[in-house]
A and B are shown apart, each in its own frame.
Chain A
Amino acid sequence: DAKTTQPNSMESNEEEPVHLPCNHSTISGTDYIHWYRQLPSQGPEYVIHGLTSNVNNRMASLAIAEDRKSSTLILHRATLRDAAVYYCILAGYGTGKLIFGQGTTLQVKP
């Protein structure tokens, strides 16, 4: 399984944008880039995914580098409820599996 590298932790101020980086230099052509987040004592929550093009949804934006070796999850305006562990995961086509790394713990300060 292709691996991702994320910073262990990041801090943000409330109502400011947050850029969460992820490196995935061994990504293959059919790997989707997924982001999930997990609040304390809850199951993970799907955030966004993409393959090659940048993606936007109501929760976040995903910016994918042209060579696909890195991506950035963008929270446009952080709130206290966005404090969570954010996981960047590569999902190979047809495997069905998500292999979780350690993720980035995001702290949001009021």
Chain B
Amino acid sequence: GAVVSQHPSWVICKSGTSVKIECRSLDFQATTMFWYRQFPKQSLMLMATSNEGSKATYEQGVEKDKFLINHASLTLSTLTVTSAHPEDSSFYICSVGASGSSETQYFGPGTRLLVL
């Protein structure tokens, strides 16, 4: 399967600042990447689908101006949490969609964000 990395693995920031999280596909050219958010003791929630060279598709209820996604190359997608607030503290996970019709995804290790 694809190897996916995320950077940083954890970040602490002050309320009101913006935080950028990188997701890299190390051995696979990914036209599609996905961003998820996971609160403590809850399941993963899909936030958006990141498409290389085009705008991301956001799930219902996810603010596109709050969570900026850029997928400028086949190996890199970034998620920027703008004007972060304590309620944005969460575990953010990206994944790469494998080619073919089975819809298999390979996940990054996640980024833990704490907003003070």
Contacts and interface: CB of A to CB of B under 8 A. Distances in A.
A91 B43 contact: no
5 nearest interchain CB pairs?
A43-B107, A91-B103, A100-B44, A100-B43, A43-B110
Given A44-B93, A97-B49, A32 B103 contact: yes
Interface of B: 1, 4, 6, 32, 34, 36, 43-46, 49, 91, 93, 95, 97, 101-110, 112
Interface string A21-39: 0000000000010101010
Interface residues of A, number: 26
A99 interface: yes
Given A41-B110, A100-B43, A100-B44, A46 B104 contact: yes
A29 B22 CA distance: 36
